[in-house]
Amino acid sequence: MQARATLEIIDEAQPAEIDRVEVGHRTAGPVRLALAVGDIESTSAKLQQHGEKALGSITLTPWEHTNQRIVGPEGQQITLFQVGAKEVVS
């Protein structure tokens, strides 16, 4: 599995909007890792098999990425995103 990370530097209001789009409510802590993946459905399934928990369903964002927020056993939130998606399959 290959992924790339992005660093977002955002103001205090932006995390609430990102949380609303990806999860439906404010949930993230001070750090959120976002990983670009080639196949969001299979990547999410593999991570959940290894103890990660989905905080919401796979969602098509306004910027046409398919995103899903997951949280690991230690509480770290991770956004999986697939660039250029036009629809949500699952």
pLDDT digits (tens, 9 = 90+) for 4-47: 666 777 777 787 888 888 888 787 777 778 888 999 999 999 99
State the sign of the Cα–Cα–Cα–Cα dihedral 30, 28, 75, 6. negative
pLDDT of residue 14: 80
CATH of the domain at 12: 3.10.180.10
What's the pTM value of the predicted model, to 2 decimals? Answer: 0.73
Please give the backbone phi and psi of residue 74, each rounded to the nearest 5 degrees, phi first.
-90, 0
Q: Is residue 30 part of a domain?
A: yes
How many separate domains does the chain show? 1
Q: Is residue 89 part of a domain?
A: no
Residue (of 40, 52, 45) closest to 80 by Cα position:
40
Greatest Cα pair distance in the chain: 34
Range of the domain at 75: 4-83
